[in-house]
Chain A
Amino acid sequence: MEKLYINKEEWQGFVKGKLNGKIIYAPFEENNSLFYKIVNEENIEKIVYNRVRTVEPFKIFLFPFKERVLPEIEKLNEIIIMGVTSCDLNGIEILDKVFMKGEFKDPNYKKRRENLFIISFDCENPYDSCFCSLVGVNPYPEKNFDLNLSQIENGFIVEVGSEKGKEFIGNDTRFYNVNEGQLKQLEDKRKKVIEKLKEINREFDFKNLDNLKGLVEKEYWQKVKDIDNCVSCGSCNFSCPTCVCFLLEDTSNNGDFRKIKVWDSCQFPGYARMASGATPRPTLYERYANRILCKYWYMYENFKIIGCTGCGRCISGCIGDIDKRKVITEVLREKVNV
């Protein structure tokens, strides 16, 4: 795909020009972390480029915490999201397959998807909880973006990922053709990030993820002491780029049919509980195992891709300090030793 170069100040001017009438979100720093905020003339210089993923998963723009699905939302604004990282872009694959590509289409999803313009960023400073390299995802975007920004000396390499992206740039003369030296710089930078990720994850073994298939007995999971620290808060689900579980609630008050869709978490004890009181997963271990098995086994069977992109939010957000990588490494080791 076409690659261009733009100087950083010129880029800011370019974004400023797009502010007119468009809603643009971008990552901003708060307490050492990144959060999406709406860009305006005042904060435009504080946008954080090419550092790492945001705290919120990108899915909030496609699958909000709570939304009306019946009747469907009629008007959705076009929005531009800057700073989406590769882990989140890979998550879109699952969301698309669930809400847009199957026999039944979600009432709002497709419209939201079409109204999004995605300007993704390379990730240069992965957290200790990041592990995209363990699940076959690179720390730089390769698909699902309209434009991708990779920071090099004094500016950015802008990769055009779609027709929409091409139109967005148009004939703007601030963009130049990229040269060999710039491409080399980018390649070296990307290699270093991959090396860093390998270093971060050297203790963990994800080679035999296939062996998770069939590990449904809670006995396998009870052996992993860390799981005892789970408090069923659901943070791993809510921060995950591929967790799609939701519940439906009736909100009609005059006899018509109205429904809202709200995120749900398989870690909540009541998640799968039926009216009779019976639940297929009565213990903490079964519920914890369910999330792992859903990501690496069930979603693979359902969509032919695993439901984990290595963003590490389920690790950094866990108030029980459970490191999923350690759990998986231990469970798989345990299985081999049985």
Chain B
Amino acid sequence: MRRLIVLILLIGLFPLIYLAFASTAPQAQKSETDAAFEKSIQPFFSDYCYECHNEKLKKGNLNLETFQSAASLLQDRDTWEKVLEKLHRGEMPPKEAPRPDQSEVEPVTRWIESEFDRADRLAGPDPGRVTARRLNRAEYNNTVRDLLGVSVRPADDFPQDDSGYGFDNIGDVLSLSPVLMEKYLAAAEKVARTALYGPELLKPTLVRLRTAARRDLPNSPLSDYDASGLSLPNSLHVTCRFPVDGEHLFKAVLNGHRPRGSEPARLAFWIDARQVQAIEVDLADFEGQTREFRTNINAGEHLVSFSFVRFYDGLPSTYGGPNPSSRPIPPPPDFSSFKPPENATQQQLEEYKKKQEALKTRSAQKEPVDARVNYVEIGGPFKQARGPSLDSLKKIYTCGHVDGVHQRGCDRKIVAGLAHRAFRRPVTSQEVERLTGLISMAQKRGDSFEEGICLALQAMLVSPHFLFRIENRGKATGLQEAHLISQHELAARLSYFLWSSMPDEELLRCADQQILRKPDILAAQVRRMLKDSKSHALIENFGGQWLELRRLEIVKPDPKRFPEFDEYLRQLMRRETEMFFEAIVREDRSILDFIDAKYTFLNDRLAQHYKIPAVTGAEFRKVDLNGTPRGGILTQASILTVSSYATRTSPVLRGRWILENILNAPPPPPPAAGVPALNEAAVGVSASMRQQLEQHRTNPACASCHARMDTLGFALENYNAIGAWRTEDGKFPVEASGSLPDGRSFRGLDDLKAILKHDRDAFAECLTQKLLTYSLGRGIERYDRRTVKTIASSLAANEYRFSSLVLEIANSVPFQMRRGDLPK
């Protein structure tokens, strides 16, 4: 409640505060600021800017001469924000003109900023304007799942959502094309029918999948190898989307060999890196052999894998593998019984001898150990679940549904309940009437009550009240003054923020009872929501975009340079970072763990990639990182891979990644022309990457940004383009040290992490800003800066716990309030 009071007080007092300043303070204030303006600010502009930006020339349509007082700057804030930006970036004055020294520029920019800051403090809170947000694809899928208990994911077929400010849930950017509307109509029908009558029965289809690039097996058996077989090149990993729940057939098509006399091979079948089944294959020649597995699988995307477990165990002892076969070694083939025909010519005899010799040499050689899963055919669905799920029925028929008999008035009750949840707010009786009208219409035409409900549901699912989150419908959304959003709007903001989905029963009930704003209730709800498994959406959607993890799906490291990168490793990389993020959310850990944490989540393959010993088994588990060069997201293979080129690391890209995603200081884009090239072929051969980039930076135009960017990136040079540890780049030793423009220097990533942890405010502000953008669905504006700073600086008091960040956001002015457009 305290916060609320403060809020209301602030708004209520705003005119008073303003008046107070307007009447008493101004005299002294005015002279002081204007004196400063005249003394040190105006002369700067007169010296360096008026030459072009004057009354006559108005270069770039800008006349700076008109600004003759401190107050005049505040009146044209947009212009001056641009001026500040140009000064900060050193873009103005232009190169040709006389340029001020940095020591001259800084006091000027600092003074203007402090003036703006003071004005903002006086101006009262501006919660900003949030444009009606269309549900994006993830939100649509999750919302129909939670509304009706269906697992169909119709939005997977919708067109891409455009993104802005780094996220794809920005109201202003999400557009609605006729194509998308068509899909909404089709999806509404499909979703409603699935909920009422069960999933559409699909004809089974067969898909053949194989991995794009295949690697060869080592020539001789390995003694120390992955027992699960998942990381061996003879395994197979494919990601596949399953449209419905149901039983599917997985047919592994094999080829290659296993020496005669070996113990049977064991072929294992995995879904999402969990072993489902395994069978023995007692063969020497695998060519064209197939083995089938059947299992139920849930709708959605899954990683399907096949591998040979303990592949190098049980070979004949002559192979030198571990745990050799106890079977007798089969005798070499006996060729003596073969005789040439008696009437063979001399030539035929010669040929016969040759063949005989060849056979003998071949049998003396070891038989290859190269059995592999060549490709997989996936068929299904079979035994598809029929009829609606109990969950769906429960969510729809709130009025009893025994034998499909419905009492009078049930139509209203059902429709009102559904619309309340679908529109995420109380509905009017007219709205309910119009919807029940559809039921009567269907019944009049001879259709059933259910068919009528189906129709009403479809109407709800294509209604703008469902597809958009339009706030403050009760009043006008154009209302200009700042005002609190309704309890139901707050519930929806929270649920789409943390779950990418609609409010659940409990949240809706809090809104219905108008108690959601109570601080203890809001805090309890936020904590509950973060603990709920639905908050995985926050990791997937917010984390996927903030950390640029989504790009992991499209990166294609050069198979020649990185043959060990396969679909499996790609999935594991993503899983590690998601689990790490999830631990921070679920265990309510410090956000500083992102920068450095002595734990992560690995399985054997990823541990092997990291050269961390003693992790066996394909399942992920928490791993202690003490004594390893890993810790924090900067050392996770996912991040290291998305910030690299396909062929090599890029200190520039990695530096940009850190500036943008950790330090909240995105560098300006490079000039298009006149940038000297790196000699790609020479990297690692005749000059190290570092030497090349250093040479690059001798160009002063590049140095201003690259001095910082590249230096940060160099700290990560011990990790190659797919995140494996290295000490050499080609034939040059890696030098992961550097000094930042502010003079602090580091040797290795640990030093840099110490610097980043020291600058924790920058990181806290960065994460706050990103999370606030995502939670509001709009870009961060000038008036939000104070909110961001206040939230970030409050985190230390709560040990930087993730929940405290989310709570602060949930309690902030922009999250609790809104306003309409300001007049232009």
- Determine if chain A interacts with chain B: no
